[in-house]
Chains A and B, each alone.
Chain A
Amino acid sequence: MKILRKDICTFLLVLMIAFLLVQGLELSYEDKEDSEVDEYYKEHQEKTGADNMVEAILLDFRAYDTFGEVMVLYIAIAGVIILGKIVTGDDQS
């Protein structure tokens, strides 16, 4: 029986999924000790004025990361708009 490239890819994919599933089974849901960063976020949350912890981290402590995320979206949309203008023949404006 000839082993095809497709079979090897399928085997690797199944192996990866099995690895991830086994890793997931070993996750623990017990309370862990807070790291230093966690403590910092908890103590300084009031200074951001946001009651929502996710928002406080996303838009205040880690606003620079969010800026990068927004820029990724901006570049993707710019590519789509340029492509659309070329396809519709409206690239003169």
Chain B
Amino acid sequence: MTSLIVKTAGRALTPFILLSGLYVASFGFLSPGGGFQGGILLASGVILIMVTHGSKEVHRLAENIDWFETFGALTFLIVGLAGLLLGGYLFSNLLPDTPLMCIVLDIVIALKVFVGITAVFVYFFGMGVKEC
């Protein structure tokens, strides 16, 4: 369906896109970037693979995509509720002077945005679970 040039370019570029996405997401508390931007970068890597190689290569991700989404939202809520129970108010920082809360929330937001954008692509472009 797609030519050899497109396949090779997609295969060569995807690891670097995913790596830069992980970097942007996990170093958001030090440098410009953050969870949303990192998640978008991760999703663009997966979408590139889907466009060049077809959705068969990522069918395990596409089948379990809604579980990841719920996991991300629940983790965010649990962090907030832990702050409420132990710190006194919603989303209070339990470990002041350490960037742990920022890192955890960044990773969770990156996961959620990654899964969300990939799900939009999977379902809107007719590459749903059935056709994998």
Contacts and interface: CB of A to CB of B under 8 A. Distances in A.
Interface of A: 46-52, 54-56, 58-60, 63-64, 66-67, 70-71, 73-74, 76-78, 80-81, 83-85, 87-90
A84 B112 contact: no
A47 B80 CA distance: 18
B69 A47 contact: no
A79 to B, nearest CB: 10
Contact of B119 (A50, A58, A81): A81
B88 interface: no
Contacts, number: 117
Contacts of B126: 88
B128 to A, nearest CB: 4
23 contacts: A47-B96, A49-B96, A49-B98, A52-B28, A52-B32, A54-B34, A55-B28, A55-B29, A55-B34, A56-B102, A59-B105, A59-B106, A66-B105, A67-B77, A67-B80, A70-B109, A74-B73, A80-B119, A81-B123, A84-B119, A84-B123, A85-B128, A88-B130
Interface residues of B, number: 43
A59 B101 contact: yes
Nearest to A65: B91
Contacts of A66: 105, 109
B57 interface: no
A20 to B, nearest CB: 26
